[in-house]
Amino acid sequence: MKKIPVHFLFSLAMWLTLSSVAAQSSLFNGKNISGWQIHGTEKWYVENGELICESGPDKEYGYLSTLKSYKDFVLKLEFKQEANGNSGVFFRSSVNGTIIKGWQVEVAPIGQHTGGIYESYGRGWLIKPVPEKEKYLKMGEWNRLKIQVKGSKVTTYLNGHEMIQLQDDKIAAGEGGIALQIHSGGGIKVRWRNLKIKEL
């Protein structure tokens, strides 16, 4: 059997790695919110290369949505909760004013189901992580969230731990963009960075 040259294997490995990286797109450029749209009167701004959402004086719901729609994808991002930290990441969603239709991957304090799926203005909670998984959230520190959406199936991961798996026909038919949320009530501040998406 003929040996494959080591330099060829190395080149192949590098090509595969670069192809994988190239297939990812950054949703946030670290400078401004180009490619996104603000909904509502709550605060969205960039500071030290981080995207920040913060409650405004109206203390209402607020959203920052992508101008582009995404159907099947893997989304990876990091978030750090300050103060209350009740937020979320919507997918296949549409926003009209501050009314959002779609599905939210919860981002909230410990005990409030981070990584679970909530359907806004619809069926409510579709799935919550089991209580033992609440320990994977690190309040006041950076957390890694991964969301995989393909067809009717959604899987979420928090800091490398699978939180939920869900298959749902209504989600399969959904269309729309990705949106970050500020919950109503005031006193909320969440930092986001390294938002990268790979379409499937």
List the domain boundaries for the chain.
26-199
| pLDDT, tens only, 52-68 | 999 999 999 999 999 99
Nearest residue to 188 (alpha-carbon basis) of 28, 111, 80? 80
Q: In what order do the strands lie in the sheet with 124-127?
A: 36-39, 62-69, 177-182, 87-96, 99-107, 117-120, 124-127
Q: So what's the pLDDT on residue 2?
A: 55
Q: So what's the pLDDT on residue 83?
A: 79
Q: So what's the pLDDT on residue 35?
A: 97
Burial of 70 (0-12, 13-18, 19+ CB in 10 A): buried
Q: Which stretches in the chain have pLDDT values below 50?
A: 18-21
Nearest residue to 90 (alpha-carbon basis) of 58, 59, 122, 60? 122
Q: So what's the pLDDT on residue 84?
A: 83
Q: So what's the pLDDT on residue 77?
A: 98
> Which two tokens mark 167?
């298959």
Q: Where are the alpha helices (DSSP H) in 23-149?
A: none
| pLDDT, tens only, 11-24 | 555 555 544 445 89
Q: So what's the pLDDT on residue 142?
A: 98
Q: So what's the pLDDT on residue 20?
A: 47
Torsions phi, psi of 146, nearest 5?
-125, 130
What top-level class would CATH report for the domain 26-199?
mainly beta
